[in-house]
Structure 1
Amino acid sequence: MYKSILIPVAIDHEKLVKEKIATARKVLTPGGKITLLTVLEQIPGFTAEFVTVKSENHLTDKMMGTLKSLAGDDGSVNCEITTGKPGIRITEVAREIGADLIIVGAHHPSAKDYFLGSTAARVSRRAVCSVLVQRS
């Protein structure tokens, strides 16, 4: 059983989150915490000067609303938004919150996605805690 479970939520994979939360609840210690995390990538400096609206500010509000909607009224689910490179930042947040399990999603193997998606592969290599790869 796990006391702190981190579930990364990609903007384009919101539909898979309910399955990940259900999995997390099965292995969560009573009184444990689940954290839903979205990592927004920053706009590169060479293009940022041409953007008048910072996309991460707009997306932060939208994604926080989405995360809270996915969490529902469950007090054991926290929602966080951060910026950076997802494959790196997810493992950093896992260390910061003391997560003992990360549940990442991955596509079924095909020629397009060989075994794991790039973020799932990076998280699996860098994490200091257990990683469960849940297929969509």
Structure 2
Amino acid sequence: MYKNILVPVSFEANRDAVGAIEIAQAIREEGGKLTLLHVMEAVPGYALTYVPAGFHEDMQKSVAEELGQMIETVDNAEVQVVDGHSGRTIVDYAAENDVDCIVIASHRPGMQNLLLGSTATQVVRHAKCAVHVLR
């Protein structure tokens, strides 16, 4: 059982965030903490002129609200929305916040993942805590 579980959430297709939350609850010790984390990647510089003022802040608020709805019935759970590179930021967040298990939903790897690596692969390789991957 784990005391402090991190569940990174991606809104891409084929990511089972609800399943990851269910697993996190099942392996969390009584009174343990559960954190949903969404990492917002930077908008490329060439696209910034097309992004309306306040877009980033509005998007952060919207994502936090959606994540909050996912855990509204879960005790001792919180939501974090941060900026950064997905894999690296998840690993850093876990290390900085004494996370003892990361539960991450992944998709079936394809050829592109064998060459470039997926977020889940990066987390598994670099996290200093247990990682549970849901496919």
**1:54–1:45: structure 2 CA closer, same or farther, 3 Å change rule?**
farther
Corresponding position of 1:29: 29
Corresponding position of 1:98: 98
Amino-acid identity (%): 31
Instruction: List alignment gaps of at least 5 residues for structure 1.
Output: none
Whether contact under 8 Å (1:107, 1:113) holds in the other structure is no
**1:47–1:96: structure 2 CA closer, same or farther, 3 Å change rule?**
same
Secondary structure at 1:95 match in 2: helix
**1:3–1:14: structure 2 CA closer, same or farther, 3 Å change rule?**
farther
Corresponding position of 2:124: 124
Whether contact under 8 Å (1:42, 1:56) holds in the other structure is no
Whether contact under 8 Å (2:124, 2:131) holds in the other structure is yes
1:3 aligns to 2:15 (yes or no): no
Deviations 1:2-56 (A, max 9, x none): 0000000012259622211111111111110010000000123344355333542
Structure-1-length-normalised TM-score:
0.86
Instruction: List alignment gaps of at least 5 residues for structure 2.
Output: none
Whether contact under 8 Å (2:10, 2:17) holds in the other structure is no
Highest relative contact order (Cα 8 Å, sep 6+), 1 or 2?
2
Q: Calculate the aligned-residue CA RMSD, in Å.
A: 2.2
